[in-house]
Amino acid sequence: MPLRSWGWLLAGLLVGCAASTEAPGSTEEPLAGTHTTLAVTDEGVVRGEQVGTMRRFLGIPYAAAPVGDLRWRPPAPHARWNAPLDATQFGNHCPQVPSPFGLASLTEDCLYLNVYAPAHGRGLPVMFWIHGGALVVGESDDYDPAKLVAQDVVVVTINYRLGALGFLAHPALTAESPDHVSGNYGIMDQQAALAWVRRNIGSFGGDPARVTLFGESAGGLSVHTQLASPAAAGLFTGAIVESGAYSLSQPSLAAAEAAGTAFATKVSCTDQTAACLRALDVVQIVVGQNNTGGGTSPVVDGKILTQSIGAAFASGAMNRVPMIEGSNHDEWRLFVALDFDLVGGPVTAAGYPAAIQATLGIPAALVPLFVAVYPLTDYPSPDLALAALGTDAIFACNARFVEHLVSAFVPTYAYELNDENAPQRFLPPVSFPYGAAHASEIQYLFNLPATVPAPPLDAGQEQLSDAMVSAWTTFARTGAPGDGWPRFDPALDDMESLVPPSPLVETGFAAFHKCAFWDSLRR
């Protein structure tokens, strides 16, 4: 999820965080009808709960708390424990502002994961979920995978360091690193959690040799990063990317260090030392990252990433595993709501050119080119014109571009969510229908909390949910989604249209989203 939409959230930072620093295990009441279940990890025994036919182990630490001298260092091993660890409550989530997409937190002790497993079964496929939120917000707690677990898979959800705490590159941090790199701490957290899964998931009934990464938005970008990362080799066997193709070019370490230097100045570390950075209060960091944008992207550091994601996919220098790649039909409507309707009112005809310029980050002189391709006369409102442009430019055609690249090297399956009546669970109503907006597909896979009142899935949508859950779990089991979903063929440009009640094969994606135009700009 692009960062530009988060400025309006800062006003609630201190109020939201005041009540968000709870310790693990301090809030959730035990569920009726549950009983204790144990599993053995290489750090010690964990005590979870069985609820019906699902076992759940919550708040398991997979690395040491990244605090004090461990701030802005690779994740370190967690100490062993002797008595069984209570794994019936979620752990803290990582520092962030309050938002519709995550709860506020000021707690850096946040490297926890959750394991959900069927009550019976051994050697089951594992699905490893990475949450979205622009790499600045979000947490593992929100994703109840009961629908997936019911299909005999083990699901792992994780927290990882966010924002500047997870992605800040800085010359002082690079200088102290044995590898002469900095940044990518959140990506290294994900790799540490994957390594934990490889070592321990057998105790929960999972097969460490069948691990499928999946994630949405920044979680999808994270999956792309792991696909491109030599450091993730051998840690997973399949990948599902939901709306994650919005960033295919990552900054160099030098560029990221320059941004980190600007961040340090903004937060009053004018001496540019690692000691000053580590002495900062968490609030200074979270506020500073939103004011400067510092530390919010993976970095081509020469170790975790040796080249940008797009370059790795083009060359085939990637972790070659089967992939599902997709996007939603109306992705950018969520961001038009965030950036315009909910903060200042709908886009006007007079303001349309400036809105295009802000969305694409282009010089004003180039705006008429895009107005000509997306004229207001083709859309019911300026909001929807801008939403179509943003969807096509940032999500849809990038996803298709990835599908064309990676299908030369790995089995690839493409999709588009096309439910125009998908419930909106994050934002209040605005002047236009949300359609199949960004993040809409998650509710078909997980039971989600709603930030705003939202209707449940209707009968047709429940059928679509069943089909998606079946496809995702079948992919985790076999490396292909089954049920007539075609393997992506660049010559046919065919993909699965996820439409209720039953998915269909579509071939008109590129024409609808004007991908020939956007592809021409890559040359």
Q: What is the pTM of this model?
A: 0.94
Short-list 336, 299, 360, 368, CA closest to 432: 336
273 vs 284: CA distance, rounded Å = 16
**Taking a C-beta distance cutoff of 8 angstroms, is the pair 128, 222 a contact?**
no
Per-residue pLDDT tens over the stretch 104-117:
999 999 999 999 99
Ramachandran angles phi, psi of 211, nearest 5°: -120, 120
378: which 2 tokens?
A: 């083709």
For 3, the 3-state DSSP assignment is helix
Catalytic residues: 217, 331, 438
Q: Which domain does 330 fall in, by range?
A: 325-470+492-520
For residues 194, 196, 200, 201, the Cα torsion angle rounded to the nearest 10 degrees is -30
**Taking a C-beta distance cutoff of 8 angstroms, is the pair 330, 436 a contact?**
yes
Residue 475 included in any domain = no
**Which pLDDT does position 18 carry in this prediction?**
33
**Taking a C-beta distance cutoff of 8 angstroms, is the pair 137, 6 a contact?**
yes
222 vs 224: CA distance, rounded Å = 5
Residue 478 included in any domain = no
**Taking a C-beta distance cutoff of 8 angstroms, is the pair 389, 356 a contact?**
yes
Pair (273, 334) in one structural domain: no
126 vs 122: CA distance, rounded Å = 11
Instruction: Identify residue 290 by its one-letter amino acid code.
Output: N
Pair (165, 223) in one structural domain: yes
Which H or E run contains 186?
A: helix 185-200
Pair (279, 361) in one structural domain: no
- For the chain, counts of helices (H) and of strands (E): 18, 13
Pair (61, 171) in one structural domain: yes
**Which pLDDT does position 6 carry in this prediction?**
39
E strands present in 217-298: 238-242
**Which pLDDT does position 260 carry in this prediction?**
95
How many domains are there within the chain?
2
For helices 218-228 and 185-200, give the axis angle rounded to 10 degrees: 80
Pair (374, 281) in one structural domain: no
Ramachandran angles phi, psi of 398, nearest 5°: -65, -40
Pair (193, 265) in one structural domain: yes
Pair (335, 286) in one structural domain: no
List of the chain residues with pLDDT < 70: 1-33, 291-295
E strands present in 296-340: 323-328
Short-list 485, 505, 488, CA closest to 400: 488
Rg of the chain (C-alpha set): 22
Pair (155, 176) in one structural domain: yes
Distances, alpha carbon 397 to alpha carbons 112, 266, 270, 392, 512, in Å = 35, 36, 42, 6, 10
Last residue of a domain, one of 283, 315, 347: 315
Residue 267 included in any domain = yes
Residue 43 included in any domain = yes
